[in-house]
């Protein structure tokens, strides 16, 4: 017969060991994933971090809603061509060289150790924009297709959401949102084809009576994926949906 007090003690010891391991990771020397210089913890070095934060905060033209970097004061194409059902979209960085190579290393090279660095950088972006703390909400990762899950062996959005949940101290709900099977690869489609393919792609299998949810994705390109997912959550009863992502693709990439 199991001793409830012994189980409680073992649970407490496991929690303490996990916290100690986390503190040791932050204290041990590491390497900046971007420039390769020595730094502590699973983070970008101070110079790279400051450069990335500066580029996001000081781009001359950026859509206030979807975070798209614009070449001039022209209307945002993503917000102009579709009425987005999401609230604020916040990303860690623009999907441009050399940062785009980090995302490719993470997604296609299975370098999952980049997820904590991405989460730390996005946390700092939220701090700079006075969007913290986040409370009374949950993180919902965008589900991957069966094809990509079989090819990679993991869902990049889900792994990133797990690390982000630790930083923000928010629960991660992996089973609120579901995806219909689809064989068209989004990256191979044009802007308009992406929107057509994403329409009705996601669904919720039950009612979600929650006031606020945050969708988590890896790359936001035309907003068609996150908009389709937000529609599904709103239809299920969620009152407001914001978005957090690793990177935002600028117009020149599509």
User: What are the residue ranges spanned by the domains of the chain?
Assistant: 30-253
The three-point CA angle 109-114-120 to 5° equals: 160
Token digits for 126? 């939220």
Q: Which helix (H) or strand (E) holds 214?
A: strand 212-220
Sheet containing 212-220: order of strands: 89-94, 240-248, 212-220, 139-141
- Using a pLDDT cut of 90, give the percent of the chain over it: 69
pLDDT grade, residue 39 (50/70/90)?
confident
Convert the pLDDT of each residue in 182-237 to its tens digit.
655 555 555 556 655 667 899 999 999 999 999 999 999 999 999 999 999 999 99
pLDDT grade, residue 31 (50/70/90)?
confident
- So what CATH class is 30-253? alpha beta
Task: Please give the model's pTM, rounded to 2 decimal places.
Answer: 0.83
Q: For strand 240-248 and strand 212-220, is the pairing parallel, antiparallel, or unpaired?
A: parallel
Burial 112-121 (b: 16+ CB within 10 A, else e): eebbbbbbbb
Give the C-alpha separation, 163 to 144, whole Å: 17
Convert the pLDDT of each residue in 131-184 to its tens digit.
999 999 999 999 999 999 999 999 999 999 999 999 999 999 999 999 998 655
With a cut of 90, say whether residue 87 has pLDDT above it: yes
- For residues 117-133, give the mean pLDDT: 96
Give the C-alpha separation, 84 to 78, whole Å: 8
């Amino acid at each position: 017969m199991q001793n409830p007090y012994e189980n409680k003690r073992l649970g407490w010891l496991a929690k303490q060991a996990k916290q100690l391991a986390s503190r040791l990771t932050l204290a041990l020397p590491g390497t900046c994933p971007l420039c390769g210089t020595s730094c502590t913890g699973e983070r970008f070095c101070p110079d790279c971090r400051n450069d990335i934060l500066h580029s996001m905060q000081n781009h001359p033209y950026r859509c206030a809603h979807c975070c798209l970097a614009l070449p001039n004061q022209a209307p945002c194409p993503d917000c102009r061509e579709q009425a987005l059902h999401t609230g604020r979209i916040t990303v860690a960085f623009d999907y441009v060289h050399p940062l785009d190579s980090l995302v490719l290393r993470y997604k296609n090279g299975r370098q999952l150790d980049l997820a904590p660095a991405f989460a730390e950088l996005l946390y700092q972006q939220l701090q700079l924009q006075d969007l913290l703390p986040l409370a009374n909400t949950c993180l919902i990762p965008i589900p991957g297709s069966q094809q990509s899950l079989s090819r990679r062996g993991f869902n990049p959005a889900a792994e990133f959401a797990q690390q982000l949940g630790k930083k923000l101290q928010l629960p991660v709900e992996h089973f609120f949102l579901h995806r219909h099977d689809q064989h068209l690869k989004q990256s191979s489609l044009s802007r308009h084809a992406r929107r057509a393919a994403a329409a009705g792609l996601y669904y919720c299998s039950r009612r979600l009576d929650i006031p606020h949810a945050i969708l988590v994705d890896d790359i936001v390109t035309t907003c068609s994926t996150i908009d389709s997912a937000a529609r599904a959550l709103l239809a299920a009863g969620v009152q407001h949906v914001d978005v957090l992502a690793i990177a935002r693709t600028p117009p020149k990439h599509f």
